[in-house]
Amino acid sequence: MRGGMAAHPLPLASTVPTMLVVGDADPVTEGRDEAAAALGAELVVLPKRNHVTTLSARGFKQAALPFLEDAVRV
């Protein structure tokens, strides 16, 4: 049975380029591997980050900016 993010009630299938960025200390992201697989998304796990600190992390920006640049070219 799917749990956490993968158990989200909305359909996860998408053709839109998608990236999930999560902190490894965030309990909300349980099921993140399954959710990323269902979306066909790239998954980035930031060390020592939680639900609040992930967005302010340098690693978030380092992952998101190249991803967004590539997505614009699609």
Q: Which of 60, 15, 61, 62 has its CA nearest to residue 41? A: 15
Q: CA 48, 52, 55, 58 torsion: positive or negative?
A: negative
Q: What is the pTM of this model?
A: 0.79
Q: Which of 2, 24, 23 has its CA nearest to residue 11? A: 2
The string of pLDDT tens digits covering residues 16-67 is 899 999 999 999 899 999 889 888 899 999 999 999 999 999 999 999 999 9
